[in-house]
With several copies, the nearest count.
Chain A
Amino acid sequence: MEPERLNNIVEAALLAAQQPLTLPMLAALFHEEDGVGHEDLARAIESLTQACEGRGVELVEVASGFRYQVREAVHAWVARLWAERQTKYSRALLETLALIAYRQPITRGEIEQVRGVAVATSIVRTLEEREWVRVVGYRDVPGKPALFGTTRQFLDYFNLKSLDQLPTLAEIREIPDPDPQLALTAAANLPVAGRAEASAADSADGDSISPNPPDPAGADAPIDGPRTTEDAA
């Protein structure tokens, strides 16, 4: 199949589908005689992506595939098509979502421990109804609490390809020498440790509170030394 025709079909299919399409899904549109392989499709995507430059829409890849979407730059105008649209979420919901995203799999109890307050059932239900989170298993402790994780729809909604693209989680600031006297003076001078953590797999116990000196350029330096605090009891 000539590249131009292939491009046209892929463009039309992506615009016709109501959800993102993966390469295998696109490949399924063709018959064997069309002789269209994944590389051909990848090239078509590439070419269509470039063709969007300077236009009001863009072709992006999110977790569940490729989609055309309205560019952020013009969305303010386009959004007037929908006068009433709820696009705001409560802090409680966003914090719960953040904990599930960064610490999954996580139980409701563990979320409550970090947030210091109970998680309303309605929040969990909303997140599940939006299909942003789902139960991925159960923890083997009394009560067998459900473990929550995020879904592809969550990533799609927030325009992400994978969890790795989430904003990096802020590093915990160092805990100074536990001497209260010292702490009062020393702690004030400690810079904020801003190490970027790339992975959402980063779990609570994996948070190393590292005694490294501040390194302005060291955003990516692996600071995975042994934990030095004993407050995790």
Chain B
Amino acid sequence: MSTEPLPGAGTAADASAAAETPRQQEMPLAVVLGQPILQIPQDLYIPPDALEVILEAFEGPLDLLLYLIRRQNLNILDIPVAEITRQYMNYIDVMREMRLELAAEYLVMAAILAEIKSRLLLPRPPQEEGIEEDPRAELVRRLQEYERYKKAAEDIDGLPRMERDLDNASAFVPDHKVVKLPPPVELREMLLALRDVMHRAELYGHHAVEREPLSVRQRMGDVLRKLGDGAFHRFETLFDATEGRLGVVVTFLSLLELAKDRLIEIMQEAPLAAIYLKARATAETAD
């Protein structure tokens, strides 16, 4: 059990256990001559070879400044501008020598530091004293702001996250067949389709487009289904008294339509005798 990572162990513990466990390894700041450098050197003097790569570990001039301040255990609010500027310029000089494509941001920061330094040195007119703010204030504000988010980034990095610390748990699904749901249809889509086909067929032209009781059309279908057995049905059996007068009218109209459309036969043996109806064609007669 000794080599198992303890649950909830901190990252420091992980670093030592990294060699034996599949834990995340600490990323070296740089690799110099094949040797990983895990710590930023404590001395200001860094061999130029190493500096080149170490500088890549900095996320810009604010990061470098923060490093210089923190390395000397200085309160960020209390920057000894002259000293920090000197150190910063040392770095910049080496960077200049080593890396032609030195980011402009570093040079801008050097200018800012130089300006702050000169303003601190210059005597100020007495009436302005106490009104003008510390020339370092803006830089301090930026450093503080940056440091917050630098910390926030570390905090986010420390959150347990998928792949590194967690993983989805899933079970196999045998018979992974897909249930198909039919697409939804909007009534409007259907009506637009009808409008277009009517236009195309120029049905509006020679068809009465006045109100056509569609319930009659539906009843035509209902009646046809009832007659679908091909047998004769008594006229009265097609009516449902519970539907009321309107229902009776709809059924009657549908019978007339069906007859007109030659879909049913209506028969009466003698006047006042029972009326029989029959579908003219049924599934049995269809081939």
Contacts and interface: CB of A to CB of B under 8 A. Distances in A.
Q: Do A and B come into direct contact in the complex, CB within 8 Å?
A: yes
Contact of A34 (B4, B130, B133, B149): B4
B267 interface: no
B51 to A, nearest CB: 18
B67 interface: no
Given A139-B263, A167-B156, A75 B166 contact: yes
A116 B161 contact: no
Interface in B1-31: 1-5, 7-8, 20-24, 27
Most buried by A among B21, B176, B181, B191: B191
Nearest to A74: B7
B216 to A, nearest CB: 9
A63 interface: no
A8 to B, nearest CB: 10
A44 B142 CA distance: 50
A18 B169 CA distance: 9
Interface string A130-154: 1000011111110111110110000
Given A94-B156, A98-B149, A117-B59, 15 more contacts: A31-B21, A70-B169, A71-B166, A72-B175, A73-B8, A79-B164, A79-B176, A99-B152, A136-B224, A137-B227, A139-B280, A147-B263, A175-B188, A175-B195, A197-B181
Interface of A: 1, 12, 15-18, 20, 31, 33-34, 57, 67-73, 75-80, 82-89, 91-92, 94-95, 97-99, 101-105, 114-118, 126, 130, 135-141, 143-147, 149-150, 156-160, 162-164, 166-170, 172-176, 178-180, 183-184, 187-188, 190-194, 197, 199, 201, 204, 207-208, 210-211, 229-232
18 contacts: A16-B170, A73-B8, A94-B192, A95-B196, A97-B193, A98-B191, A98-B197, A99-B197, A102-B152, A116-B109, A137-B281, A143-B286, A157-B161, A166-B214, A169-B207, A174-B77, A191-B187, A204-B145
